[in-house]
């Protein structure tokens, strides 16, 4: 699997916030085999090096870093944060979040497209946190994005895939675009469904960090993602309205 021409080692992407301790975060990443860690730029302070210890911990994980613009509510704020991220982490990758609704943390579609266009023109490789809206997806691709990250449900809710129809339609409409289900997953089974639908990866944080045993939950998600991808590649049977016998009737004994 590739994003912007860069191979990644796993279809699981993990956030780095809310873990009980650095040791538990480290254990969760290692048991999950996650290939990408998302990091909020607000954890770092370039001048004071306030986040140096945290950054050292992330580097020791040996994974690709995807900084994000979490908490940004305007185009200007998101673009400024992205430039900070590029300087701090020395990467053109940026997970672009421009929040439009405080309660649901739903992205602002208009500001998201505007910010994405500004950043891609400036050499960033943008991973937009978006909804499953087809028109918005098309606008983001036209703005220069080569990856889409539709939500499964509101961030941190654990509700899973609340709009299966919308996610299936989005996947079918843009079959060649790498897509990551981002946010709202609470259980490994929900991640398996996303991969079974043909999504390339999932990104999650709260479901692992807030579990009673984060490392075990991280491993559970990794196994579910592997199962879901295998099922997708195996070309599963279509659902039927009626029963169909699995044992053939030919050769069956009949009593007179």
Q: What angle do CA 76, 67, 182 make, to 5 degrees?
A: 95
Q: What angle do CA 205, 213, 229 make, to 5 degrees?
A: 55
Contact 202, 192 (CB under 8 A): no
Q: Are strands 36-40 and 12-15 parallel, antiparallel or unpaired?
A: parallel
Residues making up the annotated binding site are 156, 183-184, 205-206
Residues making up the annotated binding site for 1-deoxy-D-xylulose 5-phosphate are 156, 183-184, 205-206
- Report, as residue numbers or ranges, the catalytic residues: 95
Q: Are strands 2-3 and 6-7 parallel, antiparallel or unpaired?
A: antiparallel
* CB neighbours of residue 88 within 10 Å: 18
- Unique residue bearing structure tokens 């709260």: 206
């Amino acid at each position: 699997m590739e994003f912007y021409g860069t191979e990644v080692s796993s279809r699981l992407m993990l956030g780095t916030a809310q873990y009980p301790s650095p040791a538990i975060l480290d254990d969760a990443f290692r048991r999950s085999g996650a290939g990408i860690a998302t990091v909020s730029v607000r954890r770092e302070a370039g001048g004071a090096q306030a986040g140096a210890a945290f950054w050292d911990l992330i580097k020791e994980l040996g994974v690709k870093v995807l900084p994000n613009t979490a908490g940004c509510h305007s185009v200007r704020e998101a673009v400024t944060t992205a430039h900070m991220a590029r300087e701090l982490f020395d990467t053109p990758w940026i997970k672009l979040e421009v929040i439009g609704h405080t309660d649901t943390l739903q992205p602002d579609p208009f500001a998201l497209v505007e910010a994405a266009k500004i950043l891609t023109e400036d050499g960033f490789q943008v991973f937009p946190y978006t909804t499953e809206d087809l028109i918005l997806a098309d606008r983001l691709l036209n703005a220069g994005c080569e990856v889409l990250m539709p939500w499964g449900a509101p961030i941190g809710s654990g509700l899973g895939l609340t709009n299966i129809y919308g996610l299936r339609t989005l996947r079918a409409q843009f079959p060649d675009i790498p897509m990551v289900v981002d946010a709202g997953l609470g259980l490994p089974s929900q991640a398996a469904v996303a991969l079974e639908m043909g999504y390339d990866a999932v990104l999650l944080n709260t479901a692992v960090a807030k579990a009673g045993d984060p490392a075990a939950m991280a491993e559970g998600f990794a196994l579910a993602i592997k199962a879901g991808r295998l099922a997708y590649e195996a070309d599963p049977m279509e659902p039927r309205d009626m029963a169909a016998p699995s044992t053939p009737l030919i050769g069956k004994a009949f009593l007179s």
